[in-house]
């Protein structure tokens, strides 16, 4: 097999050595072509239809690029072959994602629930897959096990140290996974937030005496730009209210399908039956699941005799009759709980059911300092050097409430009677 060049919209030419091509050409890796990177985000941003496949290639490319940069400044920093292992770790970091990515990574949908990283480990270790044996053949047993040691963040494997930076390249607040998906998601959503200079971030990174990554002081502006871009991507894209609503629809639709199947009122195909009802789902069954299985089923469920399933499927397929959000900012969990009984009563009075009150939680922090943070060459966290980064530390938590459009004005009136328009804390929460 010859080396190949993949043309990428973000990184331009990605060189794929023939050895890596044997992994990419397996059916388990090719499956990622049919797993959307941003689940239901295309309901908001129509061009957000890129996949885990392109993202995985991008993460691989960035891992190789960062390793080459580190070797330029610190030639002996990698133990023999560890740079290749890190690149492979980046390539395969998403191999275990379920359909619609993180959205369906929940026991609410999967009768056999595992986090995608656990599924990834099972896939790569299995002899019932193509990629498991291919990876073993490529690396040999010792390096195969060292790869998993890097994933785990072990300090040593087979008597050979594993410096912390190897894990940090793949999983940290400044890893190649995050950097690729931020720039890739920004491009495909058209968010135009501003972006950041990946090459400059890489040029600023070094490995310290403790084995971890740190950044030269002159790289701080590039790191600030990266963190600010990430912050705005979460709030403008990932947490967009319609994205959160459609995610709720999709999970509710699959839960309803399982309930109907369990009652003998809905026939599911073999793959969805396995996903929704099999408590001992095998790796082989798991790796057959893609977004397409759900999209095809959704088309059939539009015509379901079950009114609720049909309604949800119709909303998703035709993008119409969506619930609307209550236009009161900064609602928190306690406020939402206080509002809930009054909103449910109003919905009941207007012919709607409990399922028409939909809530979605948003919880994020723009930056996590210290042990999980990013360090500069003096050993201090970037937040100690930057007022801008410091401002990103505060946790942001709020609740979105969605109700039918017909009663939104009435629901908002009730909410305003309880939640003062200017309040920002529970100390000003009005009790009836």
- Classified as helix, coil or strand, 20 is helix
Residues in the chain, total: 432
pLDDT band at 422 (very low <50, low <70, confident <90, very high): very low
pLDDT > 70 in the chain, percent: 97
Q: What is the pLDDT of residues 137-174, one digit of tens each?
A: 999 999 999 999 999 999 999 999 999 999 999 999 99
**Domains within the chain, CATH numbers bracketed:** 4-195 (1.10.3210.10), 324-373+397-432 (3.30.70)
The closest alpha carbon to 136, from 119, 154, 148, belongs to 148
Over 80: is that where the pLDDT of 421 sits? no
Of 52-66, 171-185, 259-273, 356-370, the range with the lowest mean pLDDT is 356-370
Structure tokens given for 141 = 């047993």
**In degrees rounded to 5, what are phi and psi of residue 98?**
-80, 175
Interhelix angle 333-349/408-418, rounded to 10 degrees, is 140
Q: How far is CA 155 from the centre of its chain?
A: 27
Of 206-220, 255-269, 382-396, the range with the lowest mean pLDDT is 382-396
Report the alpha-carbon distance of residue 365 to residue 393 in Å, rounded: 6
Report the alpha-carbon distance of residue 134 to residue 140 in Å, rounded: 10
Over 70: is that where the pLDDT of 394 sits? yes
Which whole number is the average pLDDT over 276-300? 97
b or e along 377-407 (b: 16 or more beta carbons within 10 Å of the residue's beta carbon)? eeeebbbebbebbeebeeeeebbbbbbbeeb
- Classified as helix, coil or strand, 430 is coil
Contact between residue 415 and residue 346 where contact means Cβ atoms under 8 Å apart: no
Q: What is the pLDDT of residue 429?
A: 39
Q: What is the pLDDT of residue 368?
A: 83
Over 50: is that where the pLDDT of 69 sits? yes
Helical H segments across 319-423, by residue range: 333-349, 387-390, 408-418
Which whole number is the average pLDDT over 195-217? 96
Which whole number is the average pLDDT over 207-223? 96
Report the alpha-carbon distance of residue 36 to residue 290 in Å, rounded: 9
pLDDT band at 55 (very low <50, low <70, confident <90, very high): very high
Half-sphere exposure of 206 (CA within 13 A, CB side): 15
Any idea which residue has 């950044």 for tokens?
215
pLDDT band at 365 (very low <50, low <70, confident <90, very high): confident
Report the alpha-carbon distance of residue 107 to residue 114 in Å, rounded: 8
Q: What is the pLDDT of residue 420?
A: 66
Per-state percent for the chain, helix, strand, coil, to nearest 5: 55, 10, 35
The closest alpha carbon to 402, from 316, 327, 330, belongs to 327
Contact between residue 154 and residue 147 where contact means Cβ atoms under 8 Å apart: no
Which whole number is the average pLDDT over 198-226? 97
Q: What is the pLDDT of residue 396?
A: 80
Which of the 8 DSSP states describes residue 429? P
Report the alpha-carbon distance of residue 125 to residue 226 in Å, rounded: 35
Q: What is the pLDDT of residues 78-123, one digit of tens each?
A: 999 999 999 999 999 999 999 999 999 999 999 999 999 999 999 9
Average pLDDT along the chain: 93
Over 80: is that where the pLDDT of 426 sits? no
Q: What is the pLDDT of residue 272?
A: 97
**In degrees rounded to 5, what are phi and psi of residue 176?**
-70, -25
Which whole number is the average pLDDT over 283-304? 97
Q: Which whole-number Å values give the CA distances from 36 to 28, 88, 103, 186, in the listed order?
A: 15, 21, 10, 15
Helical H segments across 153-269, by residue range: 164-170, 176-189, 198-204, 220-233, 241-262
Over 60: is that where the pLDDT of 432 sits? no
Q: Which whole-number Å values give the CA distances from 109 to 96, 101, 120, 220, in the listed order?
A: 16, 13, 18, 42
Angle at the Cα of 157 from the Cα atoms of 151 and 161, rounded to 5 degrees: 95
b or e along 177-199 (b: 16 or more beta carbons within 10 Å of the residue's beta carbon)? bbbbbbbbbbbbbebebeebebe
Helices (H) and strands (E) in the chain — how many of each? 18, 9
Which of the 8 DSSP states describes residue 279? T
Structure tokens given for 353 = 């059911």
Contact between residue 4 and residue 22 where contact means Cβ atoms under 8 Å apart: no
Report the alpha-carbon distance of residue 240 to residue 242 in Å, rounded: 6
Q: What is the pLDDT of residue 331?
A: 87
Report the alpha-carbon distance of residue 63 to residue 169 in Å, rounded: 7
């Amino acid at each position: 097999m010859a080396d190949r060049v993949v043309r990428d919209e973000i990184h331009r030419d990605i060189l794929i050595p023939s050895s890596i091509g044997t992994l990419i050409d397996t059916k388990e890796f090719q499956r990622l072509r049919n797993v959307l990177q941003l689940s239901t985000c295309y309901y908001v941003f129509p061009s957000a239809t890129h996949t885990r496949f392109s993202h995985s290639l991008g993460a691989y490319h960035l891992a190789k690029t960062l390793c080459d940069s580190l070797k330029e400044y610190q030639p002996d920093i990698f133990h023999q072959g560890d740079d290749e292992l890190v690149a492979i770790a980046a390539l395969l970091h998403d191999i275990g994602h379920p359909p619609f990515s993180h959205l369906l990574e929940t026991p609410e949908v999967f009768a056999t629930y595992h986090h995608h990283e656990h599924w990834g480990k099972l896939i790569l270790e299995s002899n019932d897959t193509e990629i498991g044996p291919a990876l073993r053949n490529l690396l040999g047993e010792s390096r195969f096990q060292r790869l998993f040691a890097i994933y785990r963040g072990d300090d040593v494997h087979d008597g050979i140290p594993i410096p912390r930076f190897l894990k940090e390249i793949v999983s940290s607040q400044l890893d190649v996974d995050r950097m690729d998906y931020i720039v890739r998601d920004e491009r495909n959503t058209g968010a135009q937030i501003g972006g950041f200079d990946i090459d400059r971030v890489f040029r600023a990174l070094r490995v310290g005496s403790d084995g971890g990554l740190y950044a030269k002081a002159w790289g701080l502006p590039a790191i600030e730009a990266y963190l600010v871009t990430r912050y705005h991507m979460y709030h403008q894209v990932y947490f967009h209210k319609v994205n959160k609503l459609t995610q709720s629809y999709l999970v509710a639709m699959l839960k309803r399908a399982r309930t109907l199947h369990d009652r003998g009122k809905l026939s599911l195909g073999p793959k969805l039956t396995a996903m929704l009802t099999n408590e001992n789902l095998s790796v082989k069954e798991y790796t057959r699941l893609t977004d397409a299985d759900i999209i095809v089923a959704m088309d059939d469920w539009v015509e379901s005799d079950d009114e609720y399933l049909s309604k949800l499927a119709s909303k998703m397929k035709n993008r119409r009759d969506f619930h609307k959000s209550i236009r009161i900012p900064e609602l928190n969990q306690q406020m939402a709980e206080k509002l809930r009984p009054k909103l449910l009563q109003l919905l009941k009075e207007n012919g709607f059911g409990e399922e028409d009150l939909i809530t979605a939680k948003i919880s994020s922090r723009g930056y996590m300092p210290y042990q999980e943070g990013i360090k500069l060459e003096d050993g201090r966290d970037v937040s100690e050097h930057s007022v801008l980064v410091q401002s990103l530390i505060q946790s942001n938590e709020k609740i979105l409430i969605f109700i039918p459009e017909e009663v939104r004005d009435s629901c908002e009136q009730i909410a305003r009677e309880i939640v003062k328009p200017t309040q920002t804390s529970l100390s000003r929460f009005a009790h009836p």
